Each structure stands twice: as structure tokens, then as C-alpha cells.
Amino acid sequence: MSDKTVLITDSASAKTSTLPLVSGNMGEPAVDIGKLHKDLGYFTFDPGFVSTASTRSAITFIDGDKGVLLYRGYPIEQLAKQSSFLEVAYLLINGELPTSAQFGAFEDEVTHHTMMQESLKNFLHGFHYDAHPMAMLCGAVASLSAFYHDTLDISDPEQRRLAAIRLIAKVPTIAAAAYRYSIDWPIRYPRNNLEYCTRFLHMMFEVPSEPLQLNPVVAKALDLLFILHADHEQNASTSTVRLVGSTGANPYACVAAGIAALWGPAHGGANEAVLKMLADIGDAKNVGKAVEKAKDKNSGFRLMGFGHRVYKNFDPRATIIRETCHQVLAALGVNDPLLDVALELEQVALKDPYFIERKLYPNVDFYSGIIYKALKIPTEMFTVMFAIARTAGWVAHWLEQHQDKDTKIGRPRQIYTGATTRDYTPITKR
């Protein structure tokens, strides 16, 4: 807490409220409005939480104007180049980079929790054959609470830790199983001799009849995408996990709620929507028309993969992904015409005053779909991929929340716009 304050004066009553400023280690301070209602009788109104910090957190820092993203203080560019997704997951959860011994123990524990129970497999088989894999993932992750009663006592730090490991370990297994079910292929069990991303790719693509020949470029690209998607401070899905977590709900229910929030096209669903949009545009020569449509408020169409609530300069993840996209496509010998459409769209939009004035830049999802497509990940799985990576962030926030003595149930207020008090009329008199 800083010793600076903000004085609010109610011009109607001349009453005042002196509100403390709260500062973190980096970033802008916030006004602690906790006693505003007691002092002046007012709530605050902030739809979409545009100006509201909902919690203190030591996990991820973003400077939206400068395009900075840090996980536990480490720049995303350095982690993308030098780390691995599983090491980043450890970092997010534990706050420090692991030693070799710590990483070995963590990897071993995650690896040995990747299996799912046969009855969970049968549960997945209950879905209709054309179920969207996000629907299956959401349902199956929520159902983990029915399978792992030994991790439901959230007052026990060891049970919380084990639940976090289970989620990081099992979400890829469930995700791959959901995909295999959707194409009527037999589900593959996780192979413990493979590392995290390669194991996931084997569960996705290996057929029982022959060994899978996997280009190492594929696992490396996937690992990078997972690092970039692992956390993003209080985004909509993480805030959802925290809101559900604030009620004392179990970790599997909290993460399932996060998956549901991620699914929306304004959030993680954007990567799937980008690819559909690029396919609809079809050819670089049609880009001008699409940009005009996106500027027309009556069209209901937005450029998917453009814009961000926090980044108003550039999204550092998009910069890394853009470069990787070219490298991966070249390394895999993929010539995707959608990349030409994407490049043209980016060029045209970045020069257009509408996008310049509103500070709308390509975000992380603009290029990730093109990479996923080159890796032969089906479009319906794009948001699932995001969910696998974001699980690391969700559990890190959930763990942090349960160590924070200031945590209380999230319960916003409202500005009521309905009917004023009126008397009930019996149905015969209406």
C-alpha cells in the first residue's frame, strides 16, 4: 500500500472520501475503492472491468503501451527462445526457474499423471460423434472432480498442488482423446518415454498400425506456441477461474469454467475464427473488401486476430509468432495461400486510419492458426490447443488465489435498469 491518496468529493453532498493508492512492483497504481460505498454511498461502474484491478498477483506482468510481457519477471522473448513449455509451467506455478533436479522431479510427476481412467474414456464416448472438442474438453475436465476425490480438499496445500499437476498432465490426454473420438480413431495412451509436446502429438496422430514419423520442427513449434499462450494475467478465462475459485469450488470445476470462457471468439476462440475468416476472404485480392466490411459497424464483422484490450501498441506474442510462422512453413515445406491472405490483410489494416486511430494490431491469434494448420492440427482443435497451454496459467492463478489472505468471494454489484416497484396483478385481471 502506498501512502499516496486520492480525494473524492461528492458535489451534491460535499462529503469526501480519501482513498488510498495501491501500487505493485511495476505498472500503474490503482485506487483502492473499498471504502467508497461506506463513505459516499456509491458503487463504481466499470463494464468489462476496463479500469479495474481485481486482485494482486505476482505471476505475469503486461505493459500494453510498450508491448511488454513478463512471466515471473522473465521477458517472453527470452522464454520463447530458451525455455520449454513445461519449464514455463513450473515457473508460473512456483515463481522461480527450476534447478535440473527440480525440473526432473516436476517432469517426472507430470509424466506419471498423464493417464486417464478408463471410465473417463467411456464418459468421452458418451458424446455425440460430431461434438466440438471444446465441448468435450470442458465437460471432461469438469468431470475430473468425480474421479479424483483425493484432491478436492482445497484447504490442503498438498491436495491443491497435486490437482495442479493432474490438470497440466491430463488436459493434453483428454484433448487428444476428444480429437480421436471426433474422427472415429482409437484413443492412444500417453507414452511416458516422450516429452510433453511430442507425447501429445503422438496421442493425436499415431495410428496403431505403424510408428509415427514426427518432424522435430513440429514439436518445437508447438512448444513455442504453448509458451506464448501459457499465461496472460487477468484475461477473461483466468478471471473466470478466479471468480469460480473464490467460491471455494474444486480446481477441476474452476478450470472447466476457464475453458468455457476461453471458447468465445473474442478470447481463445479467435484462432479458429481467424482461419475461417482467412478462408472466407480466400484470396489476397479480396482483402480490401474485408477491411471495409470490418470498418462498417453495421456489418457485425470484425477482423479476427486484431485488437486487444491491453496491448495498444503491439502484442509481443504476435511478433514472435509472425517470425515463427515463416520459419515453420519453410521448414515443413508448406506453401499455404492463407498466409498470403494474412500478410496482405496485415499490411492493408496497419496502414488504414481506422485501425491506426483505434490502435488495433494483430494479436497472438492472428498467426497461430496458420502455424497450427501447418502442423496438421485441425481447425476445431485450435482453441483446445490454447486451453492446454493456458491450463498452466489457470492453475498458477488458482494456487496463488488460495494463498492470498485477501481472497473473498467475487460478487460485483449492478446498476439496476428494470421495472421499479409495482404490485402483482392476478392473471384474470391482466
Catalytically active residues, by annotation: 267, 308, 365
Backbone angles phi, psi at 7, to 5 degrees: -100, 125
Q: Write the binding mask 20 to 59 for ligand CMC: x where contact by CB under 6 A, - elsewhere.
A: ----------------------------x-----------
Residue 98 class from Cβ within 10 Å (0-12 exposed, 13-18 middle, 19+ buried)?
A: middle
Q: Which amino acid does the sequence have at 58?
A: A
Which stretch, 63-71, 128-136, 296-304, 394-402, contacts ligand CMC (CB under 6 A)?
Answer: 296-304
Selected binder of ligand CMC within 72, 113, 188, 308 (CB under 6 A): 308
Residues 61, 223: Cα–Cα separation, whole Å = 21
Residues 287, 278: Cα–Cα separation, whole Å = 9
Selected binder of ligand CMC within 144, 303, 345, 396 (CB under 6 A): 303
Q: Which amino acid does the sequence have at 156?
A: D
Instruction: Examine residue 250 and tell whether it contacts ligand CMC (CB under 6 A).
Output: no
Selected binder of ligand CMC within 26, 58, 266, 279 (CB under 6 A): 266
Instruction: Examine residue 226 and tell whether it contacts ligand CMC (CB under 6 A).
Output: no
Indicate the residue among 113 and 229 with the shorter CB distance to ligand CMC: 229
Nearest approach, Cβ of residue 421 and ligand CMC (Å): 34
Which stretch, 103-111, 120-128, 202-210, 267-275, contacts ligand CMC (CB under 6 A)?
Answer: 267-275
Nearest approach, Cβ of residue 274 and ligand CMC (Å): 7
Instruction: Examine residue 235 and tell whether it contacts ligand CMC (CB under 6 A).
Output: yes
Instruction: Examine residue 325 and tell whether it contacts ligand CMC (CB under 6 A).
Output: no
Tell me the sheet residues that pair with 21: 31
Instruction: Examine residue 67 and tell whether it contacts ligand CMC (CB under 6 A).
Output: no
Indicate the residue among 17 and 235 with the shorter CB distance to ligand CMC: 235
Nearest 5°: CA angle at 109, between 108 and 113? 115
Give whole-number Cα distances, 382 to 70, 73, 225, 399, in Å.
24, 28, 11, 26
Q: Which amino acid does the sequence have at 32?
A: D
Size of interface with ligand CMC, in residues (CB under 6 A): 20
Nearest 5°: CA angle at 394, between 80 and 365? 50
Instruction: Examine residue 241 and tell whether it contacts ligand CMC (CB under 6 A).
Output: no
User: Reduced to 3 states, what is the DSSP secondary structure of residue 148?
Assistant: coil
b or e along 108-119 (b: 16 or more beta carbons within 10 Å of the residue's beta carbon)?
A: eebbebbebeee
- What's the DSSP call for residue 27? S
C-alpha cell at 291: 477491411
Indicate the residue among 241 and 270 with the shorter CB distance to ligand CMC: 270
Instruction: Examine residue 369 and tell whether it contacts ligand CMC (CB under 6 A).
Output: no
Please enumerate in sequence order all residues whose Cβ is within 8 A of that of 46, keeping only pairs 6 or more positions apart, or say none: 52
C-alpha cell at 250: 474444486
Instruction: Examine residue 294 and tell whether it contacts ligand CMC (CB under 6 A).
Output: yes
Selected binder of ligand CMC within 365, 370, 373, 389 (CB under 6 A): 365
Q: Which amino acid does the sequence have at 411?
A: R
Selected binder of ligand CMC within 172, 305, 369, 393 (CB under 6 A): 305
Which stretch, 127-135, 359-367, 376-384, 420-428, contacts ligand CMC (CB under 6 A)?
Answer: 359-367
Indicate the residue among 172 and 268 with the shorter CB distance to ligand CMC: 268
Indicate the residue among 270 and 275 with the shorter CB distance to ligand CMC: 270
Instruction: Examine residue 267 and tell whether it contacts ligand CMC (CB under 6 A).
Output: yes
Q: Which amino acid does the sequence have at 416?
A: Y
Tell me the sheet residues that pair with 31: 21
Instruction: Examine residue 319 and tell whether it contacts ligand CMC (CB under 6 A).
Output: no
Q: What is the dihedral of CA 129, 134, 139, 144, to 10 degrees?
A: 120
| Site residues (vs ligand CMC, CB under 6 A) | 48, 235, 266-268, 270, 294, 302-309, 358, 360, 363-365
